[in-house]
Amino acid sequence: MNKNLFLMLLLVIGFISCSEENSNGVQGVPFQERENGKWSMISTDNGEVIFSNEFKTPITMAVEGRFMTKNGKDLWEIYTAEKKPKKIGKEYVWATCFHGGRALVTEPNKPVSIIDKEGQTVKVLDKIDNQIVTGVEDFSEGYAVYKTAGDYCGVINADGKSVIPAKYCNIYNCSDGKFVAIDKKYEKNFRGEDDSDYFFTVLNTSGKKLCDIQRSKYEWIGGFFQNGLLDISVRRNGKECWGLINEKGEEVVRPTEKIQGIEDIQGDKFVYKHDEKYGLMNLKGETLLRPKYDLLRLDGDNLMASIDTGKEEEEYSYSFIDEKGEKLFNKEFPEAFTFRYFGGKYTVVMIADNKFALIDQKGKAVEKQPKMWDVNFNTGDSYIQSDSMDIDAFMVALGIIPNGVDGLTFNTPVQKIVAHYAKNSDKGDAEHPGTDPYWYDVMEELNYTKVFNSIPVTISISFPSEISQRIYTAEEIDEENETCAGSSTSYVFNDIKPSSFSFDINLSSVKQNKVIYLYQKICAKFKQMGRIVKENSKATIFTMNNGCTAIIVKDEEGISATWGKNIDLSRFDTVKY
């Protein structure tokens, strides 16, 4: 098996905890009997086919008796996993699988919602604690991390009730009843250049702090607990040394050169990496399986291992072994997946190219094994975004005018522009606030990100020269050589005005129809202020009534606009390719 395919599977179905029973995990695997055939589903509970040749479009795995497929409008539809599947709920732009009877969905042009297994709305998540919600992570252990328009994170429970307020720059999904978070008081360091001088905070599900972990103490700090332990690493003598800490921040396995990476943790054992190979070790640091495998995963009481066959690039042979390295059954597969991800009773393996099978713990195929030409491991979306973009309100809030944007103009004094920039950025410190010209003697452009009607926008203001300059004493000036020496005594702003304004709207995760509509609205706004000179499918150039030139560009990342004197128009020709 291609190792990257297995890693992709772990990302796709990694929501299933090692401790979960099959009733809370995958209950059905989609498959095609032939190339370009309709999709069927086989049960991981009893190995029987649930339904056969029912869907033309790919379907997701069944979790808690529900699965999904995309319709002709590229919207999710949810169905019951039974002999004659029944559609429940509505159509959704985004949708997760079910966890504990709850799923997160987004209807077209609406906020994120929680629904039950009958498709009924439990709660609309337009705002939480009076803050606009822009997106929600999939449920994990009954909790979901949400993100606000201000780019902060909080946590809700399965009913949508706030349990941890949105005062964190980042929160990892719940693991072992804990969250790893970064408080927004460390935002400047977390989002800035110095990404080591802050703390990770471990919280319980009520938001109570269990411990703080100093970022600079470790080279790496994991975001997810496994069996009450968190992986960390340090660098000693240029080498990575990995270990484990508990929820109090205490070292359980001291970082050592023997361990160069940690994967699964289960009970008192964990999978570790050394010299790009994987082995098994216990919490005492004793090696149980030497690192000789190209991939190793804990699988209940046993393990799944792979070894490079050496025949072709990235060709692997997979087998199931015990903790002594002995094979559970004398079979190897070009592709295989752990039993635990499918509830423990069965798993999916590849027998040969385009030939998959469902096998039990003894390696035997199910009694009435159907022909499985292909399988699909998709479970739906893992991050659900709001689709309630009010484009008209956004345009008003952004405040585009011929002479500027966001309340700034070509005639705004530089001091006021800097004050506006400092308010919307993390510039400054205790000695020199963000409004001090001290910071700007080598800067000709200011950039800040601001949220307008729940949409983050990066605004740039360019100047014809440095924004400020240093002032030297007479003793420090060597007039003969026209140079300055020594330290400056003060800084002053230069008497300059902006030469151009720009804004950049990141819409990479927004549905294309909304991107196109917003692009049309922005172009219409600029057309009111001038006339179109040149246009193609992705860019438009304008001559404005105030003598400025403007270019609007739409690409896969979003929409950008620049206007002013002597601006760069080269993107007009490059964006269409």
Distance CA 406, CA 416 (A): 13
Q: d(Cα 287, Cα 276) in Å, to the nearest integer?
A: 16
**Residue 338 and residue 271: Cα distance in Å, rounded?**
14
Quote the pLDDT of residue 1.
Answer: 41
pLDDT reported for residue 130: 92
Among 174, 200, 176, 175, CA closest to 186: 200
Element (H or E) spanning 472, and its range? none
10-residue mean pLDDT series, the chain (577 residues)? 45 40 70 97 95 98 97 97 98 97 96 98 96 94 93 96 97 98 89 75 97 94 96 93 97 96 95 96 96 94 83 80 93 92 92 94 92 96 90 90 96 96 86 94 94 86 97 62 59 96 87 88 96 95 97 93 95 78
Residues in the chain: 577
User: What does R_g of the chain's alpha carbons equal in angstroms?
Assistant: 29
Per-domain residue ranges for the chain? 3-385, 391-574
Strand, coil or helix: 392:
helix
Q: In 10 A of CB 285, how many CB atoms?
A: 13
Element (H, E) at 90: strand 87-92
pLDDT at 268: 95
User: What are 415's two structure tokens?
Assistant: 């001091």
The residues near 431 (Cβ < 8 Å, ≥ 6 apart) are none
End-to-end CA distance of the chain: 36
For 3-385, CATH number out of 2.60.40, 3.30.2220, 2.130.10, 2.30.180 equals 2.130.10
List the structure tokens of 55: 């869907």
pTM: 0.80
List b or e across 183-211, with b for residues whose CB sees 16 or more CB atoms inside 10 angstroms: bbebbbbbbeeeeeebbbbbbebebeeee
User: Is-contact 519 512, C-beta < 8 A?
Assistant: no
pLDDT value of residue 510: 76
Q: Which pLDDT belongs to residue 22?
A: 37
Q: Do residues 412 and 418 make contact, with C-beta atoms less than 8 angstroms apart?
A: no
Whether the Cβ atoms of residue 41 and residue 29 lie closer than 8 Å to each other: yes
